[in-house]
Amino acid sequence: MRKTFWSLALAWTIVAPPVAQTQAPPSVTILKPARFFDGDAVHEGWAVRIKGDRIDAVGVEAGVAAAGATVIDLPGTTLTPGLVEGHSHEGAQYADVELKQAVNQGIIPGPRMLVSTKAIVATGSYQPKTFVLEWNIPQGAEEADGVDSLSRVVRDQIGKGADWIKLYGDYRWGPLPGSHPTFSVDEMKLAVETAKSAGVPVAVHANTAEGMRRAALAGAETIEHGGEGTPEVFKLMAERHVALCPTITAGAGPWPPAAGLESPVVARKRASLKAAIDAGVTILSGSDVGTFPHGDNARELEAMVALGMPAASALKSATSTAARVLHMENQIGQIKPGLFADLVAFDGDPTKDIGALRRVKFVMKGGIVYKQ
Ligand SMILES: [Zn+2]
């Protein structure tokens, strides 16, 4: 079942509380990995200097220890920007807003989060659908339609803390099998325009070509899933700068699937990902985690590579590209001076062997070490 959607910007690799949660971060830290992937290219033998919560300097010179600096050697590792999870589910109602607040207030450790609260569905299209018909059962997302309720619900969710608005542009409803479009282009346009006033982008769940087409025409910034996208729809998305979050492993059960990477289901995913890339669509990494256990998010990047993306491109889709899609490129997604010191070190080199993402050796967020 789908629950609250959020875009979870950063460091899902956090697995332990901060090493020194109660202490102020050291004023200067120098990290010395074997190499780093800065969100674009690999640099051998470069160091990163961190001052407070920001990256202060990168390069060979950055490794020259200043007096009072804490030096952390990370031999054999590759340092990357904190990885972005572009599509995640957890909690219900407004739990994502409250979780984000708890993280930001330092009550619990966690990633930087962009949340979309309850998501919005067209009346009658969503679930659960298995109850006595005369009962109005609370839905797994918020229903809204037409001029009045769509703008009111979008505004209400923004008022309660939504950083992004999520619409379901299609879903499994009606008498026919499979997914069918829900909102009209005009309804989605209204939602996009309403959200835009508050500087809030719109993400649209859409698997059908028609649902995707409507979302792209309406001004959605990302399309989630996109499983039945056609070359024409991907062309439209590229023209309108709509990013695709392909959620390759969503609904696949365990990954890799028991039926193997050559099974018809995977072949379809491979074909649609290739069509999107060939059309020039921006790809955002997002795993749909929450439909499978949190902490196993790396499987989406492994799947991207298994379906033909070079490992470095897959990593970009979870770092520099993701930061741009989320309008956070001046804060996260690259290892460069001025950005937040959100950094992860992996044993080995994930730009050559994506499986290295399973070997997290070091996690830093905002200059604070969470795992070492
Ligand atoms: Zn999802």
Q: Which residues pair with 203 in a beta bridge?
A: 166, 222
Backbone angles phi, psi at 350, to 5 degrees: -65, -15
Give me ligand 1 centre to Cα 250, in Å.
8
Specify the range with the lowest mean pLDDT, choosing from 10-14, 70-74, 107-111, 285-289.
10-14
Q: Domain locations in the chain? A: 8-82+336-371, 112-325
Residue 5 pLDDT: 35
Give me ligand 1 centre to Cα 5, in Å.
6
Residue with tokens 């950005």: 339
Following DSSP, what letter does each residue of 169-219 receive, concatenated?
SEES-SSSSS-EE-S-HHHHHHHHHHHHHTT--EEEEE-SHHHHHHHHHHT
Domain 112-325 has CATH 3.30.300.30: no
Task: Give the DSSP H/E element, type plus range, for residue 345.
Answer: strand 343-347
pLDDT band, residue 26 (cuts 50/70/90) = low
Give me ligand 1 centre to Cα 89, in Å.
6
Residue 108 pLDDT: 96
CA distance 314 to 321: 10
The CATH topology of domain 8-82+336-371 is: Urease, subunit C; domain 1 (2.30.40)
Between 134 and 122, name the one with better pLDDT.
122
Backbone angles phi, psi at 28, to 5 degrees: -135, 130
Best-predicted range by mean pLDDT among 20-29, 119-128, 258-267?
119-128
Q: How far is CA 60 from CA 70, 73, 168, 362, 366, in A?
A: 16, 14, 48, 20, 22
CA distance 126 to 190: 20
Give me ligand 1 centre to Cα 88, in Å.
6
CA distance 343 to 48: 10
pLDDT at 79 over 60: yes
Chain mean pLDDT for the chain: 91
Give me ligand 1 centre to Cα 22, in Å.
35
Q: How far is CA 131 from CA 66, 127, 137, 140, 173, in A?
A: 66, 10, 7, 14, 15
What the block records as the tokens of 81 is 């920007």
Closest listed residue to residue 10, CA positions, set 362, 343, 348, 370: 343
pTM above 0.95, yes or no: no
